Amino acid sequence: MRTQIRTAVLSSLITDFRIIFERDPAARNWLEVLFCYPGLQALFCHRFAHWLYRLGIPFIPRFISHLGRFITGIEIHPGAQIGKGVFIDHGMGVVIGETAIVGDYSLIYQGVTLGGTGKESGKRHPTLGENVVIGGGAKVLGNIQIGNNVRIGAGSVVLRDVPSDCTVVGVPGRVVYRSGVRVNPLAHGNLPDSEANVIRALIDRIESLEEEVKHLRRSRSERQSFMAAVLAESDEREFDHDLGDSCLLSDREIREFLEGSSCK
């Protein structure tokens, strides 16, 4: 049994080392990767600490985890289950809790927290599927399930289960895209902007309402007397001028925001 565990740990370490060359164009040689990648060093410490943790050895696994945190800035509880081929890029500030499970070939960026939401015992940290990408600063909290091929945008806070092949953004995290296509791990920057889409829809609706109001005012003015029609036409010009300054897409600030946040 112990021999099988040692073999599995060694296999995972080799896969962790090789995956860096596949996913980081800055990785140029094995010496640089071995000594200058804190994510890999943190995983080395964790694999050893987790092996001792499973053997039931007290204190030492936590102390190894603490040393790894001091050296790399990455805190992984020795009880966490980390799959093979996991890449922690940059890694400073990453926290992975005791009962967290990270699937094979996941990609985790700096500042990510896989944490709990209270003091309950038992399984209290998230479970990540395979090939999951978590952007910088994202928080995945509680005993929730994250499916395979999920992308979580930077700065998102995920509190609910996420099905496979989805993209999640926002606080709290919302599923904004579903697809059956396998996620490209390095395309984490290509995320929809749900807020810009909502604002664009609201502006379109406002413009539609403006046109309807204009039509109603014109219809009313035709049924009134000549003097009332003149007054109504004057009021309409003032009303149109005020609306045009505040709501039309030609407004500079709104146009610049939408152009800078458009989603392809």
Q: With beta carbons less than 8 A apart as the criterion, state whether 65 and 75 touch.
A: yes
Q: Average pLDDT per run of 10 along the chain, which is 264 residues long?
A: 65 83 83 88 92 90 93 93 90 91 92 86 90 92 92 90 88 74 54 67 83 80 62 58 49 56 45
The 10 Å CB-count burial string (b at 16+, else e) for 71-84 is ebbbbbbbbbebbb
Q: Tell me if residue 16 falls in helix, strand or coil.
A: helix
SS3 content of the chain, % helix, strand, coil (to 5): 45, 15, 40
The model's pTM: 0.69
Per-residue pLDDT at 205: 80
Q: Which pair of structure tokens corresponds to residue 171?
A: 């606080």
Per-residue pLDDT at 257: 54
Per-residue pLDDT at 262: 46
Q: With beta carbons less than 8 A apart as the criterion, state whether 103 and 97 touch.
A: no
Question: For the chain, which residues make up each domain, given as ranges?
Answer: 2-178, 194-260
Q: With beta carbons less than 8 A apart as the criterion, state whether 149 and 164 touch.
A: yes
Residues 2-178: name the CATH superfamily. Answer: Hexapeptide repeat proteins (2.160.10.10)
Per-residue pLDDT at 21: 85
29 to 37, 38, 107: CA distances (angstroms): 12, 15, 20
Q: Which pair of structure tokens corresponds to residue 253?
A: 């600030």
Q: With beta carbons less than 8 A apart as the criterion, state whether 192 and 169 touch.
A: yes
Residues 6 or more apart in contact with residue 20 via CB below 8 angstroms: 27, 33, 37, 40, 87
